[in-house]
Amino acid sequence: MKYDVVVIGASAGGLTAAISAKRFYPDKSVLVIKKETVGMVPCGIPYIFGTFKSVDDDILPAEKFLEPLGVETLVDEVVEIDPRTKVVRTKGGKEIAWKKLVIATGSKPLFPEIPGAELEGVYTVPKDYHYLKALRERLESAEKVVIVGGGFIALEVGDEIRKLGKDVTLLVRSRLLRSSFDPEFSEMIEGRLKEAGINIVYGQVERLLGSEKVEKVKLVDGKELDADLVIFSIGYRPNVDLAIKAGLKVTRYGIWTDEYMRTSHPDIFAVGDCVEHRDFFTGKPYGLMLASTATFEARIAGANLFKLQIVRENRRTIGVYSTHVAGLTLAAAGLTEEAAKREGFEVIVGYGKGPDRHPAKFPDTSMVTVKLIFSRDRGAILGAQIAGGKSVGEMINILALAIQKRLTASELYTLQIATHPLLTASPVGYQIVKAAEDALAKLRT
């Protein structure tokens, strides 16, 4: 078997890389190799625990996207990449030659190395259909659920499980969503979660207790939490085993790539959770695991496979996040105020707050709070955080573009916008503009 392009992995990054490759190079043959017959929509996984009636409601139909384009798929597992002969070998005994290879192997959840972790009823949240189906079934008989972690997945899973009428406790080591939001936003979401009936406990797990099944979570401070089921959501590790075995350059954060998503081998590309990212402002390497980032990188890889196209150059990565928990939408992009100061920036912060409809008497109106972080020296935007209704989900994309284009407070203050009573805030009180205005006033004092 021989193909022009072989893609390993069929989640968001792998699918997008294959689609982009075929659209930019329609005459090239493309094969996607995926381990599972049934794939999951990664960002939809938390909703199989509440909103969705079944795990099957979150299936990612890879073939539906690929077959119309002429992209072939193979259900098998790649066990070896041979960069010298340009061949991949599979668990099923196949040897497949390629001209260009894209690694989109994703990530796997961290599992705690603590006493009791082997007990029945202890889970993580992988992108594995059969595992998640078993977890969903196990939830039916559980009453007390402890979720360890304070990140997006922990909060979303906890909020969904609460909808099943379960007693949910979030065990948080520090504060909620710490890496993406400043303290006032963490406090905002904590208040909403508590109002929704979720218990929040601060502490660190020492061990899990029980005979065969988990029964309690013991904390370092000696406190014990009753638990019929424990879910660890404490982060993910990039899947880099194939890359290491192939001799590619791999760092602690993932597979090294250049601005075109090429690895240390010129004909091997890598995208998504399995790669190292570099911060937009500092250039420092770090790990970032977002489907939106994976697809952004996959578009770059797909376009540049056979011809480097500067217009699609990936300079650095901006983390852009959004979530909807306990009736509150939160979104963030770029640096938090804390992170900006830690990196040595002198900052000015602007706030804008108001209803997302005008007048505010409309029944679906929500209050929206915008926080913008600017550098004091030239007023360039460094970061943004928003809380409010569902309109927040698209507002953050405006600000992500503003960060990418290094817009200033003055430029955001003079932003030309469309408004409508049923759709947006008032043109007089548009929160992004008001936050920029607030920052400008402070810059001039």
Cα–Cα dist 177/117, whole Å: 24
Domains and CATH numbers, the chain: 2-108+237-312 (3.50.50.60), 111-234 (3.50.50.60), 327-443 (3.30.390.30)
Helix, strand or coil for residue 373?
Answer: strand
Question: Residue 227 has what pLDDT?
Answer: 98
Residue 314 has pLDDT above 60, yes or no: no
Q: Cis check for the bond before 359: say yes or no (omega within 30 of 0).
A: yes
pLDDT value of residue 313? 55
Mean pLDDT of 129-137: 96
Q: Which amino acid is at 433?
A: V
Separation between Cα atoms, residue 100 and residue 86, nearest integer Å: 8
* Band of residue 444 on the pLDDT scale cut at 50, 70, 90: confident
Percent of the chain with pLDDT over 90: 95
Q: Which of 28-32, 149-153, 309-313, 400-404 has the lowest mean pLDDT?
A: 309-313
Would you state the pLDDT for residue 316? 87
CA distance 266 to 188: 47
Share of the chain above pLDDT 70, in %: 99
Q: At residue 312, does pLDDT exceed 70?
A: no
Report DSSP letters for 45-60, one per residue.
GGGGGTTSSSGGGGEE
pLDDT tens-digit map of 373-390: 999 999 999 999 999 999
Rounded to whole angstroms, the Cα distance separating 192 from 387 reads 12
Q: What is the pLDDT of residue 388?
A: 98
- Catalogue the E-assigned strands of 194-280: 199-202, 205-209, 216-219, 224-226, 229-232, 236-238, 250-251, 254-255, 268-270, 277-278
Q: Is the pLDDT of residue 309 over 90?
A: no
Would you state the structure tokens that stand for residue 124, as one six-digit string?
A: 């993580």
Enumerate residues 6+ apart whose C-beta is below 8 A from 203: 171, 172, 173, 219, 220, 221, 223
Give yes or no for residue 14 having a pLDDT over 60. yes
Q: Are 9 and 103 in contact (CB under 8 A)?
A: yes
Q: Are strands 144-148 and 167-172 parallel, antiparallel or unpaired?
A: parallel
Q: How far apart are CA 61 and CA 166, in angstroms?
A: 31
